[in-house]
Amino acid sequence: MLPRKRASAGLSAARGVRRLVALRRGVAVLIKRFNRFEIKYAIPASQLAAFKPDLGRFVKGDAHGVRRGFYSVASLYFDTPGLDCYANKVDGLRFRRKLRIRMYPGSDTDAAFVEIKQRVNRTVQKRRLAMSLADAYRLCSGAARFKLSDADDQEVADEVRYLVTSLQLRPKNVIAYARQAFVGYAVDPGMRLTFDTMIRTRRAGFDLERPRRMQLAYPAQMAVMEVKANERVPHWLVSLLARYQCTLTRVSKYCAGIEALGRRQRQVRTRT
């Protein structure tokens, strides 16, 4: 494994700037930068049918979803040769970050998003660039330096390239899942609530768009519920979480994928 100090090379202070850019051609507003609290809970998938109706008074389905807030997510994650990003999460480092390319299969846009997701204590900071998948691959391979007209976008692109080259980041796995998203209105307009199910993984190169066989990364009978809020978890949601005995969890879909692939590899070696 690489020395720990290398895993934190090039870390820069996030500015916490929120910036909304309206996309053309009827696509909804794209959030390019934000800070928020993000808390995850494990909940049996069998309880979702009872849990979700109780949310109706406080949240509504995300407009991005094709039906009742549903959509698909696929992400290509990068890590060092020694899996330092994975280790930082497992070790519970209070300052950590990861690089990924994200797509939304089946959506009305073929754009890919290069994202730097960073956690400082309980606060999640995310910066993203929307570009073609081919350009996302070029940027995240470190092979090309992009010249962008927007100064903030240029800063993110330069940081991505620096991280890739200095930490030797390479594609490690693909994580895909079905997501149902809800957004707050009236009482808690800044809150976002998501339910992720059928979380799957596979090994990867620069091939996010290719349909390939995947394996479960998280138990099929469980869902990961993420509460994303600007300041705090609302009291009404705390009550619902207690009523349905939702368990606070430190699950990372990327880490779960790495571990699932490791178990599969050990099983194959045992058979041979």
3-class DSSP assignment, residue 147: coil
Q: What share of the chain is helix, strand, coil (3-state, %, to 5)?
A: 30, 35, 35
CA distance 176 to 223: 13
The confidence score (pLDDT) of residue 151 equals: 93
Read off φ and ψ for residue 93, nearest 5 degrees: -60, 135
Per-residue model confidence as pLDDT tens digits over 102-121: 999 987 777 899 999 998 88
Residues 6+ positions from 60 with CB-CB distance below 8 Å: 182, 183, 185
Looking at CATH, the fold of the domain delimited by 18-271 is given as mRNA Triphosphatase Cet1; Chain A (3.20.100)
Measured over all CA atoms, what is the biggest interatomic distance in the chain, rounded to whole angstroms? 59
pTM of this prediction exceeds 0.95: no
Question: pLDDT tens for residues 161-190?
Answer: 999 999 999 999 999 999 999 998 877 878
